[in-house]
């Protein structure tokens, strides 16, 4: 199986209030993902709160991840930063720690131009010397990739995949077809946005970059395998069970809900990094009800 295909499970990164990574708690989460036979781990993605962690803590997270699941499951590491040189440093750190692939979102403060994002990603891919997935996530970076920019990047060294958001208009199948036609053979096109994963998988995308798989890996693996087998009815059945949780993701943002799920499942008691606030306790019963619908 290629690196950027199948189910990529994105873990939260448990930390204390000062942003120090709880490596023991992280290891427990990653071992569950590995045991459930997801196809890869997405470490330090948006769900992993990479934007809120220092270089040192990101390094600690990658090193402890590789120590516990390295060799058992490929680990893809988010290396985004506001500065190009910092993103390059994160990419080098990840490679030295043994990461298998990189994920790069064009984080921004000053809104970026297409040319700036092109040169930024090229520079990080070159420094990282690992297969890199373009992380197209307008809701956090506020940068929207055009097809042209993805196509331009797809022919550069080390850039082998893209993680797309769900299309806001048009259907996902048409988008995949359009991008496949213009990108090199083997360039992997995957999707995030858990509530659209069933559609995207059935439409033939290469990968599901899944938030929920970070905490419910077995259930997300089941949905992925059903889709890969072309069993649309089973996919539909499993996706239906996820619906109450997808509603919570849309209402509160998946980042906040994931901490509540980890708590509800007794996996760890970490809180999201301030200024992000945890879910109000009054909404916890909804989280528990949603989980009851899903758990295998």
Tell whether residue 250 is a contact of its own copies (CB under 8 A): no
Q: How many CA atoms lie within 13 A of 151 on its CB side?
A: 11
Task: List 161's β-bridge partners, or say none.
Answer: 133, 188
Among 56, 96, 142, 293, interactor with its own copies by CB under 8 A:
142
| Token pair 């984080």: residue | 107
Q: Which is nearer to its own copies, 112 or 241 (CB)?
A: 112
Among 76, 103, 107, 179, interactor with its own copies by CB under 8 A:
107
Tell whether residue 283 is a contact of its own copies (CB under 8 A): no
Tell whether residue 277 is a contact of its own copies (CB under 8 A): yes
Contacts of residue 292, Cβ cutoff 8 Å, sequence gap at least 6: none
Report, in Å, the least distance between residue 290 CB and its own copies.
20
47 is in an annotated binding site: yes
Q: How, if at all, do strands 207-210 and 188-191 pair?
A: parallel
Q: What is the b/e burial string over 9-39, where b = at least 16 CB atoms within 10 angstroms of the residue's CB? A: bbbbbbbeeeeebbbebbbebbebbbebebb
Among 31, 116, 231, 263, interactor with its own copies by CB under 8 A:
116
Record the tokens describing residue 118, joined without a space.
Answer: 């092109």
Which residue in 72, 96, 109, 163 is the catalytic one?
A: 163
Tell whether residue 113 is a contact of its own copies (CB under 8 A): yes
Record the tokens describing residue 269, joined without a space.
Answer: 């008691």
Q: How far apart are CA 90 and CA 166, in angstroms?
A: 27
Candidates 58-66, 102-110, 144-152, 209-217; binding stretch for its own copies (CB under 8 A): 102-110
Tell whether residue 195 is a contact of its own copies (CB under 8 A): no
Query: Would residue 288 show up in a list of annotated catalytic residues for this protein?
Result: no
Task: List 135's β-bridge partners, or say none.
Answer: 163
Residues touching its own copies, count (CB under 8 A)? 33
Among 275, 281, 282, 296, interactor with its own copies by CB under 8 A:
275
For the chain, strand residue ranges (E) read 6-10, 40-43, 75-78, 101-104, 132-135, 159-164, 188-191, 207-210
Site residues for its own copies, 2-61, by CB under 8 A, read: 17-19, 46, 51-52
Q: Which is nearer to its own copies, 82 or 232 (CB)?
A: 82
- Give the DSSP per-residue string, 90-143: HHHHHHHTT-SEEEE----SSPPPHHHHHHHHHHHHHHH-S-EEEE--HHHH--
Candidates 134-142, 162-170, 222-230, 234-242; binding stretch for its own copies (CB under 8 A): 134-142
Tell whether residue 278 is a contact of its own copies (CB under 8 A): no
Query: Would residue 173 show up in a list of annotated catalytic residues for this protein?
Result: no
Candidates 23-31, 94-102, 113-121, 229-237; binding stretch for its own copies (CB under 8 A): 113-121
Tell whether residue 166 is a contact of its own copies (CB under 8 A): no
Among 31, 253, 283, 284, interactor with its own copies by CB under 8 A:
253
| Cα–chain center distance at 92 | 20
Q: How many other C-beta atoms are found inside a 10 Å radius of the C-beta of residue 88?
A: 19
Site residues (CB under 8 A) for its own copies?
A: 17-19, 46, 51-52, 82-85, 106-107, 109-113, 115-117, 119-120, 123, 139-140, 142, 253, 255, 273-277
* Active site (catalytic) residues: 135, 163
């Amino acid at each position: 199986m290629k690196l950027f295909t199948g189910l990529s499970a994105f873990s939260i990164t448990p930390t204390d209030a000062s942003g120090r990574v709880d490596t023991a708690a992280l290891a427990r989460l990653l071992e569950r993902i590995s045991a459930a036979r997801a196809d890869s781990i997405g470490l330090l993605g948006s769900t992993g709160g990479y934007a809120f962690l220092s270089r040192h803590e990101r390094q600690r997270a990658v090193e402890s991840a590789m120590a516990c699941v390295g060799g058992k499951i490929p680990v893809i590491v988010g290396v985004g930063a506001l500065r190009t040189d910092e993103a390059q440093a994160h990419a080098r750190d990840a490679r030295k720690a043994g990461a298998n692939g990189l994920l790069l979102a064009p984080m921004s403060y000053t809104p970026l131009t297409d040319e700036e994002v092109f040169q930024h990603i090229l520079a990080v891919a070159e420094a990282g010397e690992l297969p890199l997935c373009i992380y197209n996530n307008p809701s956090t970076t506020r940068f929207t990739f055009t097809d042209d920019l993805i196509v331009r990047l797809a022919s550069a060294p080390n850039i082998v995949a893209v993680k797309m958001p769900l299309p806001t208009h048009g259907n996902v199948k048409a988008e995949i077809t359009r991008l496949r036609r213009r990108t090199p053979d083997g360039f992997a096109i995957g999707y995030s946005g858990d509530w659209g994963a069933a559609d995207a998988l059935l439409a033939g995308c290469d990968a599901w970059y899944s938030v929920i798989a970070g905490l419910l890996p077995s259930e997300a693996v089941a949905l992925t395998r059903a889709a890969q087998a072309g069993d649309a009815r089973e996919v539909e059945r499993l996706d239906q069970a996820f619906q109450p949780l997808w509603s919570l993701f849309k209402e509160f943002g998946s980042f906040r809900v994931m901490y509540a799920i980890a708590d509800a499942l007794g996996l760890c008691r970490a809180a999201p990094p301030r200024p992000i606030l945890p879910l109000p306790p009054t909404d916890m019963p909804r989280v528990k009800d949603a989980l009851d619908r899903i758990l295998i």
